[in-house]
Amino acid sequence: MKIVVLSRNPNLYSTQSIVIAGRRRGHFMKVVDHASCDIILGGQTRIFYLGEVLKNIDAIIPRIGASATHSGASIIRHFELNQVFTCLKSEALLLSRDKLTCLQILSAHGIPIPRSAICRNIASLDPILKWIGEYPVILKMLNSTHGLGVLQAFNKNQANAMFESYTKLRQKMMIQEFISEADGADIRVFVVDGKVVASMKRQAAQGEFRSNLHRGASSTTEQLSNEEIRIALESARILKLGVAGVDILRSKHGPLILEVNPSPGLEGIEGTTQIDIASRIIQYVERNARK
């Protein structure tokens, strides 16, 4: 098969890993930077990559970073409209990439999430803080990545000051209950085609509550409870994601979904679990793409 990996950088671990796995299974693999694609609409739609028409593609594997969500989605949509199988649908990318939309949809489907609120008016801040109940609370930029823009407020004055700073900087943000019993750890569940293929626990560095590997966290393979498996698979299904990195916090009331990543990185989880996830993604393509 001719498989395109949509990725800004062919040298990224995840991109490399998928390309190698695809070639090992006998496929023609091409890395295409979605930022360098142009589309002709009307009549017979066409897509150009650096001036060359892309054709006879059997499937795409999109790896879309947070900074290119909308432009990436429009390129994925082109392939969808031309009946090319994609591991990540444009709609699914748009639903899951925005932390608020993602949690809104999951909670509407009864998936447990931390108490979360969107606050745009300072007048609502006090009642929201009272509803959340305890300090610290989390104030999180909606477009945060790698834990940057995820802060703790230990009292009402700090929450007020952070709210005002985010508002001044025109940053959309979410206020969230702090799950202290997670003890600086979260669980990454890697889902491919409705199955859990790997899972790991990330433990924050000493004195840090954010368990991002970019913030110095360490990771180990982790066994999941049945409930964790259930909510991870349900979340991926609800968000229509064939490939998903589902992050879970273990609370005293059971597991809570923190976020769902539509282009989860492979380096941390393959390195930690020694599971060849890239091959699982290629096998998912093989089961679904036109021959």
- Residue 97 in contact with ligand ATP, rule: CB under 6 A: no
List the structure tokens of 256.
């809570």
Q: Would you count residue 253 as binding ligand ATP (CB under 6 A)?
A: no
Cβ 32 to ligand ATP shortest distance, Å: 24
Q: Which is nearer to ligand ATP, 66 or 233 (CB)?
A: 66
By beta-carbon proximity to ligand ATP, the closer residue of 20 and 118 is 118
**Minimum CB distance to ligand ATP, residue 265 (Å):** 9
Taking the CA atoms of residue 125, residue 131, residue 135 and residue 137 in that order, the dihedral angle to the nearest 10 degrees is: -60
Q: Which of 178, 213, 279, 285 binds ligand ATP (CB under 6 A)?
A: 178
Helix (H, G, I), strand (E, B) or coil at 152: strand
Reduce the DSSP state of residue 101 to 3 states and report it.
helix
The residue from 144, 199, 219, 235 that contacts ligand ATP (CB under 6 A) is 144
Beta-strand pair 173-177/254-261 = unpaired
Q: Determine, following the binding rule CB under 6 A, whether residue 209 of this chain makes contact with ligand ATP.
A: yes
Q: How far apart are CA 248 and CA 269, in angstroms?
A: 15
Contact between 211 and ligand ATP per CB under 6 A: yes
The least CB distance from residue 209 to ligand ATP, in Å, is: 5
The number of residues making up the chain comes to: 291
Q: Please list, residue by residue across 170-197, b when 16 or more beta carbons sit within 10 angstroms of its beta carbon and e when fewer do.
A: eeebbbbbbbeebebbbbbbbbbbeebb
Q: Is 270 in the site for ligand ATP (CB under 6 A)?
A: no
Q: Which residues share a beta bridge with 257?
A: 248
Q: Determine if 152 is a binding residue for ligand ATP (CB under 6 A).
A: no
